[in-house]
């Protein structure tokens, strides 16, 4: 009877501290993330208010493990500081009894985090980008109001403005990137500009269905190698809509894929990678059969470009395979942290939040996250098995937690 009452008391104390710290830490992270996304996407205040609820699930897998560790350290540190642990041992209560509430909290937190990673976070990520990009024209105008320029790696043009008045762009300069092929990789790279157009006024028009962005000027002056001077033509400058506002980048983000969708995406990327490899082998074989030096040189250049595409797809496939292991590993960190916080809190023997905060986050910052990043990189590079690399931090901290609990139970 004493054990059941004690377990309930400790568990509800854990839940109280956990929820309090979770709300505080999630709020802090949410503010930082909202500011970052607003700066990146040029969100207006109205858009920020609409998308804030969609960002909360993405914050929870970051804050739940930390607050699980914090709650465990705080509650068990208070028990030790008030000599309740000594009193329980003197009363003949096995110390494993007080570990069970931490184990229960860790299991619940792990299940909640795993369910978030499985479907909830990808679904809210998609809704977030759909809400933000529902009016891509407004997103582009917001970026111009903030930065006075519009540039993106997928855009062939760079746009500069002096001011934005409503939907009117004032003193516009449009520069077209000069594209050349990199001799080493065969990929296209930008090297300066080969076309500059100056416009007193212009406005943006977005064709979402066609995926096109148009710059409509009243008139402009062209500066180009083959032509320079005034033009009375008001023909718009048309280009593909940037991936950042067309939704293409959002759909391809790993975080926007549900857990059941990851294997299909891995298979698709692997097929694309193998197609590049096959095409490269065919190009090299054709070049070897030719006696024309120019044909052989062209084949080598194209093969380098295909090798670059192959390497990019191979990295993408490795990142997707790592995600298969990373999501459950990050969820399991809640259980590891809950078990670690119990002996660490009792050893620290502190009842104040500040000391406990410092003590409990040192293992996370100094041990867990460096191991998590290093193990993930080792797995992606192929130097260790992917599963071992992604689970390395959990394995190390779980062994430390089990050892500390064993020492604690033997006292």
Q: What is the DSSP string of 99-163?
A: HHHHHHHHHHHHHHHHHIIIIIHHHHHHHHHHHHTTSHHHHHHHHHHHHSEE--TT-SEEEEEEE
pLDDT digits (tens, 9 = 90+) for 174-213: 887 776 655 554 455 555 677 788 888 888 888 777 777 8
Least reliable range by pLDDT among 120-134, 245-259, 267-281, 383-397: 245-259
pLDDT at position 44, please?
67
pLDDT at position 250, please?
58
| Whether residue 283 sits in one domain with residue 217 | no
φ, ψ for residue 154 (rounded to 5)?
A: -85, -10
pLDDT at position 93, please?
67
| Whether residue 107 sits in one domain with residue 7 | yes
| Whether residue 145 sits in one domain with residue 128 | no
pLDDT at 225 over 60: no
| Whether residue 58 sits in one domain with residue 6 | yes
| Whether residue 161 sits in one domain with residue 128 | no
| Whether residue 266 sits in one domain with residue 236 | no
237 three-class SS: strand
Q: Report how far residue 147's alpha carbon sits from residue 141's, in angstroms, rounded to the nearest whole number.
A: 10
Residues of the chain with pLDDT > 90, as a percent, come to 14
| Whether residue 334 sits in one domain with residue 387 | yes
Higher pLDDT, 241 or 276: 276
| Whether residue 129 sits in one domain with residue 7 | yes
Higher pLDDT, 90 or 205: 205
pLDDT at 229 over 60: no
First CA to last CA across the chain, in angstroms? 24
| Whether residue 123 sits in one domain with residue 18 | yes
The residue out of 318, 334, 355 marking a domain boundary is 318
Does the residue 336 lie in any domain? yes
Does the residue 253 lie in any domain? no
Does the residue 205 lie in any domain? yes
Q: Are 188 and 179 in contact (CB under 8 A)?
A: yes
Domain count, the chain: 3
Q: Report how far residue 79's alpha carbon sits from residue 19's, in angstroms, rounded to the nearest whole number.
A: 19
pLDDT at position 230, please?
47
**pLDDT classification of 227: cutoffs 50, 70, 90:** very low
Residue 264 belongs to domain spanning: 258-318
Does the residue 306 lie in any domain? yes
Q: Report how far residue 14's alpha carbon sits from residue 338's, in angstroms, rounded to the nearest whole number.
A: 10
88 three-class SS: helix
pLDDT digits (tens, 9 = 90+) for 323-361: 999 999 999 999 999 988 888 878 776 656 666 667 767
**pLDDT classification of 40: cutoffs 50, 70, 90:** low
| Whether residue 168 sits in one domain with residue 126 | no
Rounded to two decimals, the pTM is 0.75
pLDDT at position 234, please?
63
Average pLDDT of the chain, as a whole number: 80
Q: Report how far residue 138's alpha carbon sits from residue 270's, in angstroms, rounded to the nearest whole number.
A: 37
Mean pLDDT for 283-308 is 82
pLDDT at position 332, please?
93
Does the residue 252 lie in any domain? no
Does the residue 251 lie in any domain? no
Beta bridge partner(s), residue 205: 214
The residue out of 294, 318, 342 marking a domain boundary is 318
The residue out of 220, 246, 272 marking a domain boundary is 246
Does the residue 308 lie in any domain? yes
Does the residue 14 lie in any domain? yes
| Whether residue 113 sits in one domain with residue 177 | no
Judging by DSSP bridges, how do beta strands 168-181 and 157-165 pair with one another?
Answer: antiparallel
| Whether residue 330 sits in one domain with residue 222 | no
């Amino acid at each position: 009877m004493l054990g059941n009452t004690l377990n309930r008391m400790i568990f509800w104390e854990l839940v109280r501290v956990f929820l309090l710290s979770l709300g505080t830490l999630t709020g802090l992270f949410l503010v930082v993330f909202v500011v970052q996304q607003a700066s990146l996407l040029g969100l207006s205040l109205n858009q920020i208010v609409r998308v804030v609820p969609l960002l909360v699930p993405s914050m929870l897998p970051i804050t739940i493990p930390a607050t699980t560790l914090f709650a465990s350290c705080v509650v068990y540190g208070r028990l030790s500081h008030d000599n309740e642990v000594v009193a329980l041992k003197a009363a003949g209560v096995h110390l494993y009894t007080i570990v069970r509430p931490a184990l229960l909290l860790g299991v619940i937190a792990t299940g909640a985090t795993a369910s978030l990673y499985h479907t909830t976070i990808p679904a809210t990520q998609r809704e977030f980008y759909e809400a933000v990009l529902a009016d891509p024209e407004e997103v582009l105008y917001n970026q111009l109001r903030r930065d006075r320029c519009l540039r993106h790696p997928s855009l062939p043009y760079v746009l500069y403005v002096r001011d934005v008045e409503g939907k009117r762009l004032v003193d516009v300069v449009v520069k077209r990137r000069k594209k050349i092929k990199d001799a080493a990789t065969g990929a296209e790279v930008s090297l300066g500009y080969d076309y500059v157009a100056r416009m007193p006024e212009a406005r943006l028009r977005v064709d979402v269905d066609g995926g096109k962005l148009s710059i409509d000027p009243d008139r402009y002056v062209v500066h180009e190698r083959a032509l320079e001077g005034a033009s009375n033509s008001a023909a718009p400058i048309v280009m593909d809509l940037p991936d950042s506002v067309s939704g293409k980048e959002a759909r391809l983000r790993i975080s926007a894929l549900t857990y059941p969708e990851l294997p299909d995406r891995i298979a698709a990327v692997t097929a694309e990678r193998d197609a590049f490899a096959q095409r490269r082998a065919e190009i090299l074989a054709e070049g070897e059969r030719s006696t024309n030096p120019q044909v052989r040189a062209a084949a080598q250049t194209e093969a380098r470009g295909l090798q670059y595409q192959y390497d990019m797809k191979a990295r993408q496939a490795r990142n997707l395979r790592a995600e298969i292991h990373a999501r459950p590993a990050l969820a399991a960190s809640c259980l590891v942290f809950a078990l670690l916080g119990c002996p660490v809190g009792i050893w620290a023997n502190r009842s104040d939040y500040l000391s406990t905060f410092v003590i409990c986050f040192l293992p996370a910052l100094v041990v867990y996250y460096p191991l998590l990043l290093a193990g993930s990189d080792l797995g992606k590079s192929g130097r260790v098995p992917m599963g071992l690399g992604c689970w390395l931090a959990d394995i190390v901290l779980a062994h430390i937690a089990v050892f500390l609990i064993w020492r604690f139970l033997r006292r």
